Chains A and B, each alone.
Chain A
Amino acid sequence: MASVPGLEPTETAATAEDTTTTDTPRSSRRRTRRNKVTSHDSFLSYANGRWWKIAGLLCLASLLAYIFVPLPAQHFGGTWLGYTLGTIGAGLIVWLTLLGVRKRAMTPGTWSLKAWTSAHVYLGLSLIVVATLHTGFDLGWNVHTLAWALMMIVIVSGMFGIWFYWTLPQALSENRYDEDGAVTEKQMIEQLRSLDRQIHDAAQPLSAEDAAVVEKSLEQDPFDGSIWNRVTARYPNCATRRAAGTLREARAFRPRVADDPLDRVDALLTRKEAMLARLRRHLRLKSLLQLWLYVHVPVTFALLAALSAHIVSVFFYW
């Protein structure tokens, strides 16, 4: 019933590789190269696991060489294999660090940050094998082992990063949905502000002490709280919860009347609590997605320093 003659999949608007300009070529607007995207894959499975395979081969080759090449038991680092593994390791560390630059430098060209991330992950993991073999398991309390240890910290923090990147995005997006579509962080804050205004107006008829409790909820900045509060999404000092609790308690001791202003404030506070909970879940997930970087990146710089010390010292003082 349906067909699209003359419009084979390779010739659709977004994919035509052999696009030509019209008869009036605009010299200032160069032809753009477009990559064909019909399906997509994550950085972990990029190009059918190309970097996984390369990193695996690197590890295997290093291991085999370490096992089968006859070498002295002491000062392994000074042998040709030691130098080779060391050079590969140091080169990898420097290159892996450059992801930070690549990510921020929006230069033209057919590179993709996804490919870089993929390589970063797998080559980074391969360092566990390459650099550890380079030590020859000769570990001690010195600057050389410090560099190795820092590297391991960076790698382990990176593994946390992979785990978070793999598991959290789905939760992050689910938390943002509601029946009207995705709610942005900005909208969440706006909704809170608007609720605050409504609470403020509704709390006018309350008694002085009730109003003071409610006031506390309005004063509290939703972004207050320690890193620990953020990451756990637990806020024991939440003024909104306390206000709602106090008001409900107070109401239990009072005669029931129609149109009690307390009811209205209570309803609004309950809505605010729900909204705060969503914002806090959002902040928790976002913090987790970034938290590991606060270890990963600074330790990388410490590693670069220790690595330089290691290289300088082995050449001058070994």
Chain B
Amino acid sequence: MGTVSDTFRVAIIGSGPAGMSAASRAAALGLSHVLIEKTDHLSDTIFKYQKGKHVMATPSQLILRSDQEFDAGKREDILEKWNSRTADLGINVKYEAEVKAIRGTGPAIPGSVQQIVKRNRDGTKDVKELQRHEGPYELELTNGEKLIADTVILAIGTQGNPNLMRCPGGDLPHVTYQLDDPTEVLDEHVIVVGVGDAGIENARGLAEDSAQGNVVSILNRKPKSTNVRESFANAKEPNAKALVEDDADGKLTIRYETEVKELEPGWATLSTRDGEEKIRCDRVIARIGSAPPRAFVENCGIAFTSEDRLAFPQLSPVFETTAPGIFVIGALAGYPLIKHCMNQGYDVVEFINGNTDLKPADEPLLAEKFAGLPKGRSVDEWLEHLRTSISILKDMSPLQMREFMLDSDVRSYAPGEVVFEKNAPGSSLFAIAEGLVHVRIDPNDASKVVPIEAGTIFGEVGLISGRRRGATIVAAEPTICVEISRNAALKLMSQVPPAKREIERISTERQLLQMFGSGLTSADIAEVVETAKIRTVPAGQAIIKEGEDGKNIFVIRVGSMVVEKEVGGKPVFLSYLPAGSYVGEMALIDGGQRTATVRAAIKSEVIEIDGEAFERVLAAKPALMDKARGEMDVRRRTNALIESKKDSFSGVVDLYSEQAKFLVSQGLGEATDVLLIDEKLCVGCDNCEKACADAHEGLSRLDREAGKSFAHLHVPTSCRHCEHPHCMADCPPNAIHRGPDGEVFIDDTCIGCGNCQRNCPYGVIRMDKVPPPKPSLLSWLFFGKGPGPGEPAAKWAKKNMPYNGDPAHDEALDRKKAIKCDMCAGIDGGPACVRACPTGAAIRVAPDEFLTVARLKSETEGA
């Protein structure tokens, strides 16, 4: 077509909660508008939720400001309300329209050039420059149609588009990227590309009923292996196993080491290990992941805050991007919750319509945060005050400040009040807005303190390493501090590069001062800090290799490392180094080659310190030298012990070493507290599981039998309380926290989305509904009432659930929640699994105390 059909005041792209709410406001205000939706229905993300899913409306204290209704409820009800309201308001929706490009049609904006950096796989970067033009904007759709709009609101979310087939013929109509109903495909030759869960489910669905007559092939780039985890790395194990079984049954064909070379109607050419092969093909279903929408957004002239993968577009207080007239709201702007999105939709259209006095809907929330502070300032004044007085916040926009403060807390402290104590767990960062705090460097002597002044930060070690607080902090004057949650701090670091640099510099300096102590000052180590580099080390990579030359010292900032030594041709596990330790000083002090290999147990971050710069510090500070020598001696003794035991107890040393490696491979390298079972003692009574269920509302958080074993040490499926919990990474209501004993727990605001379950690499989170309370133990013992100890059978739970016919009430009972180990926090006596073990098989350990040579010593002496 290629013709310009219409001109609009506002074009809204994406009809999710944000876009739909914006269109509703535009319709209500009578602005000429168009709502562009890729699919044939509104709000595809929520449309795709499973049938009957309960949608939560968090944060509950936030007021909804939208022309659309929204309240917690069933997916169907919510969509129904939105659809009918959209019709009532007369919103102009353009379905099945996908925007390919947005271009300014006005004159070029002088000096406004967007740099688009594309990172290639080989590490090089391509930089493309894009001259911005003023509006009105031309929106080109994939079908060639063009629209013109004065302003554009991007509300496309973060899900992105599926990756496309790039081979010749990849654009043919029989190449598809999804499969709605496998039962509708009959008598076809189908090729499924991609062996993730989506591809596997599609292939199995198409082949399930042989009466459909489909010939299904699924292509896997990886070679065949007896271990499905190797050949199907991106799929869940049960899925992959089922697929392999279907292949063995002849229901479908898995083609290993195969890719599509060329497609033509009816046929596909495959490149295989043994050459090319041409097979029949009526349909291709490509499930090869999806690309985030960043490239599209950048090509609209919108700059992001940084190159970081997690970065969001740069926005003004009214959600305007660096391309004037283009606005970004919703998940793409960094707000994943429905209510936020809907409010922003309303606000952004009000702003576009010239209502500059509108206060954001989060105003009351922020007002509440500042309510407890002295001096009556308005919300805006407080935000400005904090921004200008705290160095790491000074580059933030007012909009970022608002969002940032929603995730953070601000508090005032009287002189002498403790901010946090040594060894308290905590991963938040503190920034001092006013006043002065003291760091107590000697736990026994309150007078030995180091001051930290207003404008700077503290608590950064907990933020970075996830370990406990290293010292007690006390307010020295009336002080106002901002406590920045880990999530907010990470967002800040990805959005504001100078903040990231500042936090890294301070944390490096503090970490070095704290580690080496001995009266060092920041001036002494200025050169060392200056030359220090922060490096990310992938799991398994060595930072130091035995026998190499090198003098640099490594400080483990995030993650953990294992130290190994070649003894008798085999690597023997020497020790485990948690975050906060340093390594590499031996070669520096004594000279000579590296005496052991140090490799990352999990993905880690180290500070690499220039050996020569550090040598100068050592030379100037004899006390530090003595300390380092003392610590070196301890490690020497470990070496000596291993070497000496190796001859007499080589079997034990091997076993110890193998066992340590096994435990590290099972995630102990990032664990803080893990349940282990000694299979020499476990009688399989499952009392641990029963106790767990009885200590926690009837649901067990551990699976004793599952999990892996090595040399009679079993790591059951149960939470490891990781230092940086994977489950926390993407929790929309931010319901996962670390508690006072280091336990990672999920609070009551869980919306049951299942993100944590998917993100946990150890499969320890289950989604389930809470069973009804059981009759007491005694009435079971004497009268046989109820299901007895342990998790009740699903049947019993269903039968005894106190349903009362009220849909809201019954639906709440049926709601699934994420369930995981909380280390029995708040229960006197500690973890029920350990207390309830009759034979002493169940133990809970912290890796840094379990993976020690002390254990080897006691075992060899027992041997």
Contact = CB atoms under 8 A, between A and B. Distances in A.
A31 B583 contact: no
A71 interface: no
Nearest to A120: B838
Nearest to B713: A173
B14 interface: no
Nearest to A104: B789
B673 A29 contact: no
Nearest to A173: B679
Contacts of A111: 829, 835
Contact of A43 (B249, B740, B832, B839): B839
A110 interface: yes
A43 B678 CA distance: 12
B787 interface: no
A40 B835 contact: no
Contact of B828 (A5, A104, A110): A110
Interface string A174-190: 00110011101110000
Contact of B843 (A18, A20, A37, A104): A37
Interface of B: 227, 245, 248-250, 411, 417-421, 423-426, 467-468, 470, 514-517, 563, 575, 577-578, 580-587, 595-596, 598, 631-632, 634-635, 672-673, 678-685, 687, 690-691, 694-695, 703, 705-709, 712, 714, 739-743, 777, 781, 788-789, 823-830, 832, 834-841, 843-846, 848-850, 852, 854-855, 858
B848 A29 contact: no
B830 A4 contact: no
Contacts of B707: 181-182
A220 B838 CA distance: 36
Given A3-B631, A109-B829, A39 B858 contact: yes
A19 B828 contact: no
Contacts of A286: 684
Contacts of A180: 227
A162 to B, nearest CB: 10
Contact of A33 (B245, B743, B830): B830
27 contacts: A2-B598, A3-B635, A5-B515, A5-B516, A7-B581, A11-B423, A12-B849, A13-B468, A14-B742, A19-B424, A19-B425, A22-B421, A26-B740, A29-B825, A32-B740, A32-B828, A110-B829, A112-B834, A116-B838, A164-B683, A169-B681, A169-B841, A170-B712, A182-B707, A182-B708, A182-B709, A198-B249
Q: Helix, strand, loop or mixed for chain A's interface?
A: loop
A3 to B, nearest CB: 4
A106 B789 contact: yes
A108 B828 contact: yes
B683 A165 contact: yes
Contacts of A197: 249
B826 A29 contact: yes
B741 A19 contact: yes
A23 B418 contact: yes
Nearest to B716: A182
A13 B680 contact: no
A117 B724 CA distance: 38
A6 B849 contact: no
With most chain B CB atoms within 10 A of its CB, the pick from A37, A176, A181 is A37
B578 A7 contact: yes
Contacts of B709: 173, 176-177, 181-182
A16 B423 contact: yes
A105 interface: yes
Contact of A28 (B587, B826, B827): B826
A13 B672 contact: yes
A169 B682 contact: yes
Contacts of B695: 106
B828 A33 contact: yes
B713 to A, nearest CB: 10
A266 B425 CA distance: 60
A30 interface: yes
Contact of B683 (A2, A7, A169): A169
Contacts of B706: 182, 184
A6 B855 contact: no
A38 B845 contact: yes
A91 B788 CA distance: 27
Contacts of A28: 826
A278 to B, nearest CB: 14
Given A43-B839, A114-B838, A169-B682, A103 B827 contact: no
Given A3-B634, A7-B580, A22 B426 contact: yes
A7 B664 CA distance: 20
A15 B849 contact: yes
Contacts of A37: 834, 843-845
Given A2-B563, A38-B845, A172-B679, 5 more contacts: A16-B423, A31-B741, A32-B823, A106-B836, A169-B679
A194 interface: yes
Contacts of B595: 1
B424 A20 contact: yes
Contact of A31 (B682, B703, B740): B740
B843 A2 contact: no
Contacts of A34: 741, 830
Given A18-B423, A173-B682, A113 B581 contact: no
A250 B425 CA distance: 71
Interface in A224-262: none
Contact of A103 (B683, B687, B844): B687
A276 B834 CA distance: 33
Contacts of A2: 563, 575, 577, 581-583, 598, 635
Contact of B679 (A21, A170, A198): A170
B524 to A, nearest CB: 17
A72 interface: no
Contacts of A22: 420-421, 424-426, 740
With most chain B CB atoms within 10 A of its CB, the pick from A14, A35, A111 is A14
A92 B227 CA distance: 54
A198 to B, nearest CB: 6
A297 B620 CA distance: 74
Contact of B684 (A30, A112, A116, A172): A172
10 residue pairs, one from A and one from B, having the closest CB atoms: A173-B679, A14-B846, A3-B631, A106-B694, A181-B708, A184-B705, A1-B586, A108-B828, A114-B840, A104-B789
Contacts of A38: 845, 849-850, 854-855
A1 B423 contact: no
Contacts of B743: 32
A42 interface: yes
Nearest to B680: A170
